[in-house]
Chains A and B, each alone.
Chain A
């Protein structure tokens, strides 16, 4: 099955700086890669996703890049704000299931 690894597990940045979170996947058949944000005590919510026919996708301050050859994808957050502080999860699909990475705790210091 699919194996998704996520790095780093914690990330601390100064407000206004950029943050990058990286994930690798094992199943070359995977074709859908979502990113979820989870605030403390809340449910995960989708912030951006990318499909394997696209190399990059951007939505305001958030972008995701995908390298199918190397089997890795990354989340980029620019101009970070304190409200970006949360746990971020990447995921990849393998057949009918999503496999999640272990999460990255992002802390944005004012």
Chain B
């Protein structure tokens, strides 16, 4: 049981490049989330998926898109990366909203 996994662990992009961050969970959870964490800051919700087939905006959705590919996988896409998107990105999941969220190991993204 791997829990929540994320790829890649590290990524460096140039301004304007695009990339997709991958997240998968093997706990049969319904809900999945994408957060960003800037240095010395808390976690801010980018997008979430309450259940397979649904996605909703969080606090800071601008510049991002998501896809809930199936129950296991939830990807985050940056279409045109900007230096302001330099951050650590965490994926999380839980069985139902209002329950413990389990976090992945994070992706450290730098945009130059």
Q: Is the CB of B48 within 8 A of A97?
A: yes
A73 on the B face (CB < 8 A): no
Expressed in whole angstroms, the minimum distance between the Cβ of A38 and any Cβ of chain B is 9
Q: List 14 A-B contacts (CB under 8 A).
A: A6-B42, A42-B105, A43-B104, A44-B43, A45-B103, A46-B100, A93-B97, A96-B56, A97-B48, A97-B58, A99-B45, A101-B42, A102-B41, A103-B42
What 0/1 readout, one digit per residue, does chain B (71-105) give for beta carbons within 8 Å of chain A?
A: 00000000000000000001000000111110111
Q: Select one of A32, A43, A98 contacting B45, CB under 8 A.
A: A98
Report Cα–Cα, A54/B106, bound state, in Å: 32
In the complex, which residues of chain B have a beta carbon less than 8 angstroms from the beta carbon of A97? 45, 48, 58-59, 97
Contact A43:B106 (CB < 8 A) given known A101-B42, A102-B42: yes
In the complex, which residues of chain B have a beta carbon less than 8 angstroms from the beta carbon of A46? 100-101
In the complex, which residues of chain A have a beta carbon less than 8 angstroms from the beta carbon of B97? 93, 95-97
A residues in contact (CB < 8 Å) with B: 1, 6, 31-32, 34, 42-46, 49, 89, 93, 95-103
Q: Is the CB of A43 within 8 A of B103?
A: yes
Closest A residue, CB atoms, query B106? A43
Report Cα–Cα, A44/B94, bound state, in Å: 14
Q: In this complex, which of B43, B56, B58 has the most chain A Cβ atoms within 10 angstroms of its Cβ?
A: B43
In the complex, which residues of chain A have a beta carbon less than 8 angstroms from the beta carbon of B59? 1, 97, 99
In the complex, which residues of chain B have a beta carbon less than 8 angstroms from the beta carbon of A49? 100
Q: Is the CB of B101 within 8 A of A98?
A: yes
Report Cα–Cα, A74/B103, bound state, in Å: 23
What 0/1 readout, one digit per residue, does chain B (12-32) give for beta carbons within 8 Å of chain A?
A: 000000000000000000010
